[in-house]
Structure 1
Amino acid sequence: MTTIKTGNGVSAEQAAIEQQLTDRVLASFENTPDPRLKQLMQALARHLHAFIREVRLTEAEWNTAIEFLTAAGHITDEKRQEFILLSDVLGASMMTIAVNNEAVGNATEATVFGPFFTQDAPEIPLGGDIAGDAHGQPCWVEGTVTDTGGTPVPNARIEVWEADEDGFYDVQYGDSRVAGRARLYTDADGNYRFWALTPTPYPIPHDGPVGRMLEAVRRSPVRASHLHFMVTAENLRTLVTHIFVEGDPQLAIGDSVFGVKDSLIKRFEQQAPGTPTPDGRDLGDRSWARTRFDIVLAPENT
């Protein structure tokens, strides 16, 4: 008797056994009262089973995966979210953002949120400094917030946050410092301005299971230099994005969480010590940089 093989080398009889299992699992969700939950659970089961069958997952590999997820749970706490890191490095975060932020005209593109946003950033006036005690080169950031029709958006809330020159966010230090983050509001003409630090490349936390995975596949944990923004305004779609530094060598190597988009790469112009600052701030013998980021918000529910 001839055994018929499928495309992946599995006999037709074995393939039928595996498909019957998938069918039973899918059927187990048929009585789910929430249609969306039913769709999600059945699609998850269908794709998960397809993955296992495609790669012919071994029991040892399954155990390794369970140990990996367990370790990710153990290292996660109120300041570190290993599952967000995992989502980021697999491109799942960026794919979710792409699905939920469809391109609308000239609206500014969204990118990954990241794990280091906090709700309690201090408010600063226009022209204020977000750095606090964080170390790094001062950087003047300015721009406008408009809608897709070019109308200025007054009183738009802008939240900004970034790492210091050593590559750490304030929450990574384990003390109560608040630095490298703030919120501010646009003026009546939709303009904003503030002092920050010139972004530098830094690695995502790679001392846990996600870092070990990246090392195993020979991928860099380093993120391209960037400054985070979240912009909200009435009747407009909330924008979560960041800008990247033109000329950063890491851009050619790759961003570890796939967050870079060409439209978000901005020129950070270096200024020699003694160059007058836009607001008259005296920086002594320090160099500084400046950049402009004009933000366009999409209509709400688009």
Structure 2
Amino acid sequence: MSTEQQLREQQLTERVVASFDGTPDPRLKEVMQALTRHLHAFVREVRLTEAEWQRAIAFLTATGHLTDHRRQEFILLSDVFGVSMQTVTVNNEAYRDATEATVFGPFFVENSPEIPPGGDLAGDAPGQPCWVEGTVTDTDGEPVPGARIEVWEADDAGFYDVQYDDERTAARGHLFSGPDGSFRFWAIVPTPYPIPHDGPVGTLLEATGRSPLRASHLHFMVEAEGLRTLVTHIFVRGDELLDRDSVFGVRDSLIKDFEPQPPGTPAPDGRGLGDRPWTRVRFDIVLAPATSAPGGETR
């Protein structure tokens, strides 16, 4: 490439960056100028062709057309590039022994049903019963009573309730930690499932030889006054997908023992399970203070 060509390209980048100099919001200015520099650097590095640019625009257009109130294809796109997980990592710096965060995912739904302590959030979702218990504490080890714990997961067929057309609500709900910070509920054993791959993101994964499968997991979002909101999962130890989760969401600290219980084993709450096998798992949640900031005390 000639020196003259390099200069022309660099001068264009500088002009576009300078066009944001008058942005009143300093943070917006910083973001837009950095984004411009990185986008231009990408185009120059790979020598993007006009045909490739047109295909990219068509891809993003198709992604937008598929996105609605039930499906967020742009979140999936962010997930498979690891951008979602990197954003989580940047915004949830390690603080003492606080539970690690991971990706939010596209299937959270507001206004989930409340279940009592020991209640069953599975509803009619197919799957093996799973008893989940634990405590919510702060990083000083003090119990956190009244923490709101949102839980959601895919069923045994690999689908979330919102992926069905019948407006069902299943395998999701919320509950509150008790006076001692404890919580307990019935769910179903998580199983691997593919992220939706019948759209542009699936086409991208297929073209690049990547699997759409996610490691088995159970979603949590935990909120309590004065503490950092936690969005996380727990994963099933032994799952062969742990090291190739399609959205890079697995953290070693979140891999838990889901202990199989033979048929006839008494349930912790006396629930009658007949001759059905079931599983139990413990997940103790530690919340960082809301004021914990980058540069604070780390693990």
TM-score computed with the length of structure 2 as normaliser: 0.97
In the other structure, the counterpart of 2:296 is: none
Equivalent-residue separation in structure 2 for 1:162 and 1:11 (angstroms):
55
In the other structure, the counterpart of 1:180 is: 171
Q: Residue 231 of structure 2 aligns to a residue in which SS?
A: strand
Does residue 1:136 correspond to 2:127, yes or no?
yes
Letter in 2 for 1:296: V
Letter in 2 for 1:287: P
Aligned length, in residue pairs: 292
Letter in 2 for 1:69: L
- Report the structure number with the largest CA radius of gyration: 1
Taking only the aligned residue pairs, the percentage that are identical comes to 73
The superposition leaves residues 80-121 of structure 1 with CA deviations (integer Å, 9 ceiling, x where unpaired) of 010000000000000100111000000000000000001111
Equivalent-residue separation in structure 2 for 1:238 and 1:57 (angstroms):
41
Equivalent-residue separation in structure 1 for 2:251 and 2:85 (angstroms):
11
The superposition leaves residues 251-285 of structure 1 with CA deviations (integer Å, 9 ceiling, x where unpaired) of 14x10000000000000000111001100001111
Match for residue 50 of structure 1 among 41, 44, 53: 41
In the other structure, the counterpart of 2:110 is: 119
What are structure 1's unaligned runs of at least 5 residues? 1-9
Match for residue 273 of structure 1 among 260, 263, 266: 263
Equivalent-residue separation in structure 2 for 1:11 and 1:71 (angstroms):
37
Equivalent-residue separation in structure 1 for 2:247 and 2:291 (angstroms):
26
1:288 deviates by 0.3
Letter in 2 for 1:276: P
Does residue 1:286 correspond to 2:284, yes or no?
no
Report runs of 4+ in structure 1 exceeding 6 Å deviation: none
Does residue 1:171 correspond to 2:162, yes or no?
yes
1:296 deviates by 0.2
Equivalent-residue separation in structure 1 for 2:15 and 2:102 (angstroms):
38
Match for residue 287 of structure 2 among 259, 274, 297: 297
Match for residue 184 of structure 2 among 186, 193, 196: 193
In the other structure, the counterpart of 1:11 is: 2
Q: How does 1:207-246 map to 2 (within 5 A)?
A: 207-246=198-237
TM-score computed with the length of structure 1 as normaliser: 0.96
In the other structure, the counterpart of 1:67 is: 58
Equivalent-residue separation in structure 2 for 1:255 and 1:23 (angstroms):
39
Does residue 1:97 correspond to 2:88, yes or no?
yes
Equivalent-residue separation in structure 2 for 1:67 and 1:217 (angstroms):
18
1:301 deviates by 2.6
What are structure 2's unaligned runs of at least 5 residues? 293-299
Letter in 1 for 2:255: I
